[in-house]
Amino acid sequence: MGGELFLTSLISVALLLVTAIPGFIIGKLKMIDSDGAVKFLSVMLLYVCQPFVTFDSFLNTPYDPEVLIGLIAVFVFTCVSMSAILFGGYFILTRFRSFDRDTSGIMAYGGAFGNVGYMCIPFLQLLDPGNYIIILYATCSVVAFNLVAWTLGNYVLTRDKRFISVKNAVLNPPTLSFIIALPLFLCNVNFLGASSLTGAAANAVNGIANICSLFSDMVGPLAMTLLGIKLAGMRAKELFNDYRAYITAAIKLIAAPLIGFALVYLMSSFMDVKGISLNLIALSAMPCANNIMMFATILNRDSTLAAKEVMISTVMSCITIPLTLLILTQCAGIYG
């Protein structure tokens, strides 16, 4: 199982990065206004595609108490692992005199928060096509991610409680769509019931299901196109010459998966984690989240360092994600 998973995950990551090539070429040839394109793609991903991912996964999954328990476990795991790495990383980094508090905050943030929405979800879609449950768990991770990022994440970046925003943690499209979809799941209202319908009603439900699936499948190509455009705007020398970004990448791609594995192993002592272990390990292995660049800009922190963290960790993750899944699943023996 481990070797097959390694090969499949390697191919999935490679395919994701391949879909960044068109955006890179377009950006290099200056065929578009890069800033305008990045803004448009960001809005499409946040306000359209991610909510459709949530609805598509929930409305294609029948209610199951075990899935509900899995959702709770994924939510708690995400909050605990990200918070632990965030504060642990910040504490350790501030001990080094070469890093001031602002730099330590950006590095700790980058090491704690992975690209859950724009890379983990399309990666899982490629890794296990048609498995709505693992995508459902991934959308739960996005909700937990937003909660921790807008509260504890902002606090570490600024060391100011005024920037803690529970409102923004809740009032965002991925979280709101999750809040709307969850009761439908609990009431077992989904597209699967269309099989009992006939005529126009059946066509309408199937049409809505196809639309949800269409927008859901757009997450990967749009997110990677966005990445390609951003990569095209950066000079290679400028991108790869900052040792701080490599330290952050090591925290995110090596330390975070190890901490994630420890938590999964701990959870396996009191619950069955086989159904969620792939999600948890993949979540831990993702590169730095794109939103570090947004928060660094808004909060007047080093946005250039933030961009380097994202780009370097994303490139390196092509190798580290398959290795993480191979090594951790082999050692743990808990992959379902």
Task: Give a yes or no: residue 134 inside a domain.
Answer: yes
Triad 183, 188, 192: Cα angle to 5°: 130
pLDDT digits (tens, 9 = 90+) for 275-290: 898 899 999 999 999 8
The whole-number average pLDDT for the span 96-101 is 84
In a 13 Å sphere around the CA of 209, the CA atoms on its Cβ side amount to 19
Q: Averaging pLDDT over each range in 35-39, 107-111, 332-336, which range is the top one?
A: 107-111
Task: Give a yes or no: residue 234 inside a domain.
Answer: yes
Task: Give a yes or no: residue 336 inside a domain.
Answer: no
Triad 87, 92, 98: Cα angle to 5°: 125
Task: Give a yes or no: residue 57 inside a domain.
Answer: yes
Cβ count within 10 A of residue 162: 8
Has residue 211 got a pLDDT over 90? Answer: yes
Paired tokens of 86: 């965030």
pTM reported for the whole predicted model: 0.90
The whole-number average pLDDT for the span 253-265 is 92
pLDDT digits (tens, 9 = 90+) for 160-181: 888 888 898 899 999 999 999 9
In a 13 Å sphere around the CA of 8, the CA atoms on its Cβ side amount to 16
Contact 144, 74 (CB under 8 A): yes
Task: Give a yes or no: residue 335 inside a domain.
Answer: no
Helices then strands, counting H and E runs in the chain, come out as 19, 0
Domain that includes residue 264, residue range: 2-330
Task: Give a yes or no: residue 142 inside a domain.
Answer: yes
Task: Give a yes or no: residue 182 inside a domain.
Answer: yes
Mean of pLDDT over the chain: 88
Count structural domains, the chain: 1
CATH number of the domain bearing residue 270: 1.20.1530.20
Task: Give a yes or no: residue 111 inside a domain.
Answer: yes
